[in-house]
């Protein structure tokens, strides 16, 4: 079976029983008096010049085979109908084998006016990045970081020496916004500082809690001997706590373990300008179809308007000032890492 098709099926299998995650450790300080009306609520947000109608988007998932072409087309149909920005999966496969390029270009064909992000690994060069952007007429570029996945993947890369220079060169070379993202293992302050030093302006902390690529790749190993890495990394909530000192310096994005509109709202309240969704969208499209996924997205939009009103916040920027109480494992992590949670509770 094609590796991309394997990834798709294994990722879907993980979504059958959504589990508790660290978003359940985030709660709000309720205020009984709010002064807001529905017509004041504005869900728009921006990512370094990319203007989004709502603070969430379809994050990178797939491409590289006939089966994934069908899926990417369906995702593009959802994006077009709902006005969501969409990222493709890694376009590297199209550079290696031009015969599968249409599994990515179908997204632009289906949604010619939509916001579209190309995606590549940090092992790729600035020249590769420009080829991918041109292929998709992309509005932006994601560069993904996936060390644990590569190391567990049977045919993965083990040489990461050029990642930093590739990222720096790509940012200098391309004219579209560049987002550096994890693939579900989260980020720490040290990583975010290093990315800032490289000239990165937008970061997706993409934490543990959703699809586990170490679990997927271990399932593809003969002995399946690395199952102890299934839960490697920091959760999305913990990663956003680690990112607190950088909120004024970087455009912060979040993904990983987003199950519903409330999780989106919590991530934005923790400082994310926008939130990427993969697993929940994947499961809905594959299990229930395009129309059901469009309805899900529209329901989330309506629920977000309700949540903005519930906390008396008119804009996405205002939501980022919500008072939050952090408990459980994220609280313990923050205390050990010297992250001040009182600022979130009392702001």
Tell me what pLDDT residue 2 has: 58
Tell me what pLDDT residue 20 has: 73
Average pLDDT over residues 127-143: 98
Checking if the pLDDT of 18 tops 60, the result is: no
What domain range is 118 assigned to?
3-346
Average pLDDT over residues 312-338: 98
Secondary structure letter of residue 315 according to DSSP: B
Q: If we measure between CA atoms, which residue out of 248, 294, 295, 296 comes closest to residue 273?
A: 248
Query: At 173, is the pLDDT very low, low, confident or very high (cuts 50, 70, 90)?
Result: very high
Average pLDDT over residues 198-212: 94
Q: If we measure between CA atoms, which residue out of 152, 181, 191 comes closest to residue 57?
A: 181
Q: 275-306, pLDDT tens digit by residue?
A: 999 989 989 999 999 999 999 999 999 999 99
pTM: 0.93
Total number of domains constituting the chain = 1
Checking if the pLDDT of 5 tops 90, the result is: no
Query: At 16, is the pLDDT very low, low, confident or very high (cuts 50, 70, 90)?
Result: low
CATH code of the domain covering residue 129: 3.20.20.70
Q: If we measure between CA atoms, which residue out of 304, 255, 151, 259 comes closest to residue 213?
A: 151
C-alpha 243/C-alpha 326 separation (Å) is 15
List all residues 6 or more positions away from 338 whose beta carbon is below 8 Å from its beta carbon. none
Binding residues: 3-4, 60-62, 90, 119, 149-150, 181, 206, 211, 257-259, 278-279
Q: 20-70, pLDDT tens digit by residue?
A: 799 999 999 999 999 999 999 999 999 999 999 999 999 999 898 988 999
Binding residues for Mg(2+): 150
Average pLDDT over residues 77-104: 96
Tell me what pLDDT residue 17 has: 57
Binding residues for FMN: 60-62, 90, 119, 181, 206, 211, 257-259, 278-279
Tell me what pLDDT residue 205 has: 98
Tell me what pLDDT residue 1 has: 58
Binding residues for substrate: 3-4, 149
CB distance 88 to 111 below 8 Å: no
CB distance 26 to 345 below 8 Å: no
């Amino acid at each position: 079976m094609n590796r991309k098709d394997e990834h798709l099926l294994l990722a879907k299998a993980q979504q059958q029983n959504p589990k508790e995650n660290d978003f359940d450790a985030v709660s709000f300080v309720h205020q009984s008096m709010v002064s807001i009306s529905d017509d004041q609520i504005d869900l728009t947000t921006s990512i370094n010049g990319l203007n989004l109608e709502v603070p969430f988007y379809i994050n990178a998932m797939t491409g590289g085979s006939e089966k994934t072409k069908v899926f990417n087309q369906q995702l593009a149909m959802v994006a077009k109908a709902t006005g969501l920005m969409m990222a493709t999966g890694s376009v590297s496969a199209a550079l290696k084998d031009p015969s599968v390029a249409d599994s990515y270009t179908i997204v632009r064909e289906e949604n010619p006016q939509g916001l579209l992000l190309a995606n590549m690994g940090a092992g790729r060069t600035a020249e590769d990045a420009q080829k991918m952007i041109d292929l998709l007429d992309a509005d932006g570029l994601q560069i993904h970081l996936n060390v644990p996945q590569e190391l567990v993947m049977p045919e993965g890369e083990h040489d990461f020496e050029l990642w930093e220079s590739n990222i720096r060169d790509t940012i200098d070379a391309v004219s579209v916004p560049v987002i550096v993202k994890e693939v579900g293992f989260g980020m720490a302050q040290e990583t975010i500082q290093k990315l800032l030093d490289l000239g990165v302006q937008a970061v997706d902390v993409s934490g543990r809690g959703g699809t586990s690529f170490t679990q997927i790749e271990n399932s593809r190993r003969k002995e399946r001997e690395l199952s102890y890495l299934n839960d490697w990394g920091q959760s999305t909530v913990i990663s956003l706590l680690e990112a607190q000192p950088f909120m004024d310096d970087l455009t912060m994005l979040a993904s990983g373990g987003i199950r519903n509109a409330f999780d989106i709202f919590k991530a934005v309240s923790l400082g994310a300008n926008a939130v990427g969704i993969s697993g929940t969208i994947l499961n809905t499209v594959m299990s229930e179809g395009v129309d059901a996924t469009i309805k899900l997205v529209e329901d989330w939009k309506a629920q977000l308007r309700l949540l903005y009103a519930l906390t008396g916040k008119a804009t996405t920027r205002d939501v980022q000032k919500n008072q939050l109480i952090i408990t459980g494992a994220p609280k313990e992590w923050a205390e050990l890492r010297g992250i001040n949670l009182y600022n979130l509770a009392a702001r």
